[in-house]
């Protein structure tokens, strides 16, 4: 599981790219999951592990054009896959989810969404996200 056949017929590892939304810390109270990119990437990593894959790249973007080179650098038809926690995350991360989906189809690259419920954030969880994002250079690791 987690392997596809390359042009030579030999197994080749599927490269999974996780897409998370880069949402400003100021939006923490209104939408903590979109601000908490670490949880978004963790959700994608769990999905990948459940399917026998590993995350090869993590993108953290907001309103990115579907044809932007940051998305497509080194992407190979049939050998790469994009995953995001939900369509809602994609709607924040990309300028057009429909155009991105069309571009994926045109390039022969799968796009998946995890489809699990987003975590519920209490005050303590929001405070943890706030500390982690507001003190990244102080050596705080988010725990």
Query: Tens digit of pLDDT for each residue in 77-123?
Result: 999 999 999 999 999 999 999 999 999 999 999 999 998 999 898 99
Dihedral angle sign, alpha carbons of residues 110, 114, 115, 118: negative
Label residue 38 by pLDDT band (50, 70, 90).
very high
Number of domains composing the chain: 1
Cross-strand partners of 80? 15
Residue 97 lies in a domain: yes
Q: How many CB atoms lie within 10 A of CB 115?
A: 10
> Can you give the pLDDT at residue 2?
45
Domain with 55, as residue range(s), is 25-116
The two three-digit tokens of residue 31, written as one number: 């939408």
Residue 104 lies in a domain: yes
Of residues 86 and 11, more confidence is placed in 86
71, with CB counted inside 10 A (0-12, 13-18, 19+), is buried
Residue 70 lies in a domain: yes
Residue 130 lies in a domain: no
Q: How far apart are alpha carbons 19 and 72 in whole angstroms?
A: 12
Q: How far apart are alpha carbons 135 and 127 in whole angstroms?
A: 12
Residue 96 lies in a domain: yes
């Amino acid at each position: 599981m987690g392997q596809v056949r390359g042009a030579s017929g030999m197994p080749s590892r599927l490269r999974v790219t996780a897409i998370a939304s880069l949402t400003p810390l100021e939006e923490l109270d209104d939408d903590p999951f979109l601000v908490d990119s670490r949880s978004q990437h963790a959700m994608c990593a769990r999905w990948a592990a459940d399917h026998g894959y590993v995350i090869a790249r993590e993108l953290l973007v907001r309103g990115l054009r579907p044809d932007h080179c940051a998305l497509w650098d080194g992407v190979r038809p049939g050998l790469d896959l994009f995953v995001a926690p939900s369509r809602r995350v994609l709607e924040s991360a990309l300028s057009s989810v429909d155009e991105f989906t069309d571009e994926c189809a045109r390039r022969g690259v799968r796009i998946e969404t995890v489809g699990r419920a987003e975590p519920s954030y209490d005050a303590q969880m929001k405070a943890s996200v706030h500390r982690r994002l507001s003190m990244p250079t102080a050596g705080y690791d988010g725990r």
